A and B are shown apart, each in its own frame.
Chain A
C-alpha cells in the first residue's frame, strides 16, 4: 500500500535533516500527522517564519533577524578584539564564561578538506573584510581542537597575519580540576608539548 502523495512528500522533505533516513522520516511524519497535529502546525509556521526573517548578521555572520545582530550592535564591547568561532553554539558557550569582552565572527563551519568544504563555504572573504575594518587589532581563534579546526585556525592566521593583524589561539591542555591520573593521554601529550614557562 502506498501513502497519499502529500504524506510521501512530507517524508521526502523530512529527509533533508541530517542523519534522518527513510524510516526515521516516516516515523516523524506519522507522529506529526497522527499524534501532534498542533505541534505540526506550530512547526510549519515557525519554519515558514524563520525562513522569512532569519538571515546572517552583516558583521559577525551569525543568525540574526536584523542586519546587525544585538551583540554586534551593543556599545559596551571591545571593538579591537575579534573572536572567531565555528558555530553559533560556540559563541554562546564563550559568552557564558563572561570572560571575553570583544566581538565575534561565526564561520558557520570549518575547513573540511576531504568533504570539499573550502574557504568560500566558511565565509573567509567576509571575515577578512570584517577583521580589516581598521578598528580590530587582535583576532582570537577559537575554532575547535580537531584536525579540521586546527587547519581552519592555521589558514585564517596566515591570511590575517599577512595583513598585519595580531592573531592568537585559545589555549588547550588539562581541564579545570583535571587530575593527571584521569586525563586521556592525547590531552596530556598536548599539554606537555605546549607547556609554558612559569612567570
Chain B
C-alpha cells in the first residue's frame, strides 16, 4: 500500500513534545514548507528509541512524516546542518519563542520567511549575550509575517511619524496623536523615534529598547488573549526565590 502524503527530509525545529499513549510522543514541529505540524513519534519514549535523543528543541532537524489528518506519523529524524548550542538565559528565550509560535501560529500554514528568521534568531541567541534585542526583533517579525499590521512609519491618519512627537499606540489601529479613551493595558505611550527605530531595526537607544519592549508586550497580550505565557510566569517565579 502506498503511503499517502509522505514528506521526506523536511527542515524542521521541534517546538514541543508531550506524552501520547503508553510509549509515544506527540511532537509539535515548525517546518519550513508546512508551518506548524503535529506528528506522533511512535515508541519515542522507549529507552532505545532512535528518535528519543533527537527530539530536542532549538536544533535544525530533517523530518520525514506521512498522513493526511491533523496528526501525522513521524517516521524519522536526522540532524540538520549547523548544530546550535543554546545555553543559560538563551534557552529560556528559545522556550519563549516556541511558546509564542505554539500559541499564535495556526497549523499547516506555511511561513518560510518566519522559519528562516526563527533559525537566525536561534543562531544569534547561541552566539551573543544581547538577548533582549533579538527577542524584540523576533516578536515584531513574527507578528508581521503572520499578517498582523504593526504600522511603524505612519500614524493612524496616515501622517508620517515624527521622531520627537509623543504618540499613543493601540493594537490594530497604530499610533495616534490624540488621547485614546482605552484602559492602560490596551495602549502604550511612546516617542515617534521608538517607532522609527523599530522600522529601521535599530535598537541601540536605551529608550527605544524600553519602549519597544512595552509596545511588543501590549501587542502580544492583545493577540494572545487572557491566558498568560508560561515562560513569563516561570521567570517571575524564579525571581521570587
Contact = CB atoms under 8 A, between A and B. Distances in A.
Interface of A: 18-21, 24, 111, 113-116, 118-120, 124-125, 128, 146-147, 150-151, 154-155, 159, 184-186, 189-190, 193
Contact of B95 (A18, A20, A114, A189): A114
A186 B53 contact: yes
A116 B21 contact: no
Interface in B13-70: 16, 18-23, 53-54, 56-59
B85 interface: yes
A186 B59 contact: yes
A119 B238 contact: yes
Contacts of B94: 147
Given A118-B238, A147-B94, A186-B53, 10 more contacts: A21-B21, A113-B96, A115-B230, A119-B238, A147-B91, A184-B53, A185-B83, A189-B83, A189-B85, A190-B83
A194 to B, nearest CB: 8
B164 interface: no
A118 B228 CA distance: 14
B241 A20 contact: no
Nearest to B99: A114
Interface in B186-208: none
12 contacts: A111-B234, A113-B92, A114-B102, A114-B230, A124-B241, A147-B91, A151-B92, A151-B95, A154-B88, A159-B241, A185-B83, A189-B85
Interface string B204-241: 00000000000000000000000000110110011011
B89 A128 contact: no
B79 interface: yes
Contact of B23 (A19, A119, A159): A19
